[in-house]
Structure 1
């Protein structure tokens, strides 16, 4: 295995183990491209964790813009993930606009501004997780992928919202609020109150509303997922874990505000294997 390929794969394994496992169910000749997409996502999603000020984060996002926008014949930049991503974009003719939108959405991560509304949250999820699913689908089967763009949107919202719920303790600790202000207001809370102390009396209602919203998108995805061709399954495989996480949040004695729920390694592997081999039944 080439050293750069190993670095890209290990980046995904360390930062995004669910997607790492999903790639193992993809055809061998598609895996390097999928790893490059997921490594890129891990790089930009983790910028906030590696910086202390927003400006260096914006500089890093701009660096990625420049790398992606560069002409295909430009020499390699010497960054394993960047070089692998550029090769994937070129080989599979992926739309650069999707990556630009993803980078633009990630600016939100760098600041502590509250998420304004449910519509804004769905837009954020669409430009990040949903776009990543659609790009992976294009790598796997460029003919079939466009037919399932709307399903990718639903899947991305469900997956991203569940991920944000799992990260609630971290986000609250650093003063970030991804729970939309209109949902918080309906629950009798505010972004400022939600990230402070125990979150206030409306915090649990807001979390319940977020879980319900994630379930709404997940149910919409599952209603159409039975039609997914086998060729596209690996792009959607991380969704195999979403319902299990949401169910555990609902049934947990510990609030998602304070601690993230966990699934055992055995259960994660089983859920992924079941969907990879059987797909999604008719809802």
Structure 2
């Protein structure tokens, strides 16, 4: 993160889809907290791809986990813009520490072994993130109401990783396999999000783009904005 770059600028650059969905959050304080959460997700997700060995990755993830645990213990936050933003947020720092713990799986060599392992990973990363975001936007949000949407989005992210040369999906999964699973999760999501408070919908809105990432053609920026706007306006995917 450059010295002149704000946390909002960072998330806009590295996680543009979630950033765009956050523009539909009307409460400024809640939006700032969500941006801090997405900033943490970026820091954790990039660890595995930025280290030469697993030990270095463990050190970096442990740094983030301990930073969150220190906040939970009432200690002053470490001098890092994202840590300081999270310390000032309304998130439970213990839940943020759990996000760090879930990322240790990224350091394992080879792909996830089967569908159960994939879903457990997605639930612990994209799923946990969506739950935290949804409940920050509306404390009454039911974690089960975001499950399918988060899984669809998480699966599309794993497919993009594979396309970028970081194979985490089981080696025998084809594009068609991922497409089918994304469609299955979106079908579940359409029923689940009916129970999601309107204010919390931006937490799962990126799932409206999941299908495009595992299809033959990615959407342009205007198309993405249109799909996200329609999803938030209707509460549907």
With structure 1 as the length reference, what TM-score do the two structures score? 0.76
Structure 2 residue 4 is the aligned partner of structure 1 residue 36:
no
What corresponds to 1:215 in structure 2? 183
Cα 1:100–1:71 change in 2 (3 A) is closer
Instruction: Kindly report which structure 2 residues correspond to 1:50-65, keeping only aligned pairs within 5 A, or say none.
Output: 50-65=50-65
Separation in structure 1 between the aligned mates of residue 4 and residue 82 of structure 2, nearest angstrom: 9
Instruction: Kindly report which structure 2 residues correspond to 1:159-178, keeping only aligned pairs within 5 A, or say none.
Output: 159-171=153-165, 176-178=166-168
What corresponds to 2:6 in structure 1? 7
Structure 2 residue 128 is the aligned partner of structure 1 residue 131:
yes
In the comparison of the two structures, how many residue pairs are matched? Answer: 234
With structure 2 as the length reference, what TM-score do the two structures score? 0.90
Counterpart contact for 1:67–1:82, Cα < 8 Å: yes
What corresponds to 1:47 in structure 2? 47
Tell me how far 1:102 sits from its aligned partner: 2.4
CA RMSD of aligned residues (A): 2.2
Separation in structure 2 between the aligned mates of residue 168 and residue 103 of structure 1, nearest angstrom: 22
Gaps of 5+ in 2: none
Greater C-alpha Rg: 1
Counterpart contact for 2:161–2:167, Cα < 8 Å: no
Instruction: Kindly report which structure 2 residues correspond to 1:81-160, keeping only aligned pairs within 5 A, or say none.
Output: 81-88=82-89, 91-92=90-91, 94=92, 96=94, 98-142=95-139, 144-145=140-141, 147=142, 149-160=143-154
1:27-78, Cα deviation, whole Å (9 max, x unpaired): 2231110000000001110112322222111100000111011145322311
Gaps of 5+ in 1: 185-204, 253-260
What corresponds to 2:81 in structure 1? 80
